Amino acid sequence: MTAATPFKSGFVGLIGRPNVGKSTLLNQVLGQKIAITSNKPQTTRNKIQGIYSTDEMQAIFLDTPGIHKPKHKLGQYMSLSAQSVMGDVDILFYLVDATAEIGGGEKYISQQLVGSKCPVFLVINKIDLLEKPQLLAVIDKYKELGDFAEVVPVAAKTGENVEVLLETLKKYLPEGPLYYPLDTVTDQPEQVIIAEIIREKILQATTEEIPHAIAVNITEMEERENGLIYIAADIYVERESQKGIIIGKKGVMLQKIGSAARLEVEGIFASKVFLALRVKMKKGWRNNDTMLKNFGFDKKEL
């Protein structure tokens, strides 16, 4: 950075329908995982803040839940969380799935973007799953959704064209300060990241019988003898049948989930971890305002 090239910084919102790859793109940009991913829609619940920094710019990304029609109070929070980002950032990345047909969901989101006060990038994801002639046709169709500042096709999973997206972003970011130290990648508390890792492992290990009726709460975290980190977490479900699925026969499923989560957490801390998991049933927690607030889903903060 020199006097001739002023430092740029700003906030970038990631929006789109469920399962279009917002979290995958954020993880790819940062070069490490801070947002959980799975092949099930509605993985992201909170706005996850990821920070991408170079000597010339800093972009603070807000990864939002997929915009959808809510079916419970948790869904209402998730939808409000995503929509609140639209008017509170410098640039919007509107992600779409190159392999999916344009339906009512995309038309609804594009209508919300009409008159946006900030530049909107149409980011067409999953181009690695298409042949080039197919991609050109897809780009033309999606361009009809609105007037976009930029249209950038990418493959978030493989990283294809992500550098081009970041270079294009730099052109649009305003001049601004360094909001966070250069080596910071997220402002999320460690407990939140650990809880999300556990939830991801549950989503990956279980079937559609455990869609999103789960929440994870870290109840204890401390460093013990010889640098061992002790972590206790409660896993909440809505029905006894779901509790049985997560625990599994003779506790095998819970052990599988715990082992996968522990290995990933050990990678973060570069230390041995003891992870104690308990499964609890709380009927209808996704419609319980008190429990939602305890889990960090508070509409007043949006």
Distance CA 69, CA 78 (A): 10
Residues 229 and 139 in one domain: no
Q: Looking at the 3D structure of the chain, how many domains does it have?
A: 2
Say if residue 175 is exposed, middle or buried (CB neighbours under 10 Å; 0-12, 13-18, 19+).
exposed
Indicate whether 50 and 136 sit together in one domain.
yes
Do residues 201 and 163 share a domain?
no
Q: Indicate if 144 and 38 belong to the same structural domain.
A: yes
- 180 domain-assigned: no
196 and 266, same domain (yes or no):
yes
- Which domain does 225 fall in, by range? 190-301
**183 in a domain, yes or no?**
no
CATH number at 281 reads 3.30.300.20
Q: Are residues 45 and 119 located together in one domain of the fold?
A: yes
- Chain centroid to Cα 138, Å, comes to 25
In this structure, the answer to whether residues 57 and 144 fall within a common structural domain is: yes
Burial 78-108 (b: 16+ CB within 10 A, else e): bbebbbbbbeebbbbbbbbbbeeeeeebbee
Domain closes at, from 110, 137, 172: 172
Please return the burial class of 192, using the count of CB atoms within 10 Å of its CB with bins 0-12, 13-18 and 19+.
middle
Same domain, 33 and 165: yes
pLDDT in tens, 88-105: 789 999 999 999 988 888
How far apart, in whole angstroms, are the C-alpha atoms of residue 216 and residue 226?
A: 27
213 in a domain, yes or no?
yes
Residue 41 lies in a domain: yes
Task: Give the chain's length.
Answer: 302
Strands 215-223 and 150-153: unpaired
Work out the burial of residue 46: count CB atoms within 10 Å of its CB; fewer than 13 is exposed, 13-18 middle, 19 or more buried: buried
Cα(217)–Cα(235) distance, rounded to whole angstroms? 7
- Please tell me the predicted confidence (pLDDT) of residue 90: 93
Are 42 and 158 within one domain?
Answer: yes
Among left, alpha and beta (phi > 0; psi -120 to 50; other), residue 248 is: left
- The reply to whether 14 falls in a domain is yes
Give pLDDT < 70 ranges for the chain.
1-4, 35-48, 65-87, 207-212, 291-302
Model pLDDT, residue 68: 44
Q: Does one domain contain both 95 and 202? A: no
Instruction: Choose the final residue of a domain: 140, 172, 204.
Output: 172
> Within a domain: residue 209?
yes
Q: Are residues 103 and 239 in the same domain?
A: no
Are 296 and 147 in the same domain? no
pLDDT digits (tens, 9 = 90+) for 209-259: 565 678 888 999 998 888 899 999 999 988 888 898 899 999 999 999 999
Check which CATH number belongs to the domain holding 150 and give it. Answer: 3.40.50.300
> For the chain, what percentages of helix, strand and coil (3-state, to nearest 5) are there?
40, 25, 35
Residue 210 is predicted with a pLDDT of 60
The two tokens of residue 255 are: 């052990």
Kindly state whether residue 214 falls inside one of the protein's structural domains.
yes
Q: What's this model's pTM, rounded to 2 decimal places?
A: 0.71
Candidates 50, 82, 77; CA nearest to 65 is: 82
Residue 201 resides in a domain: yes
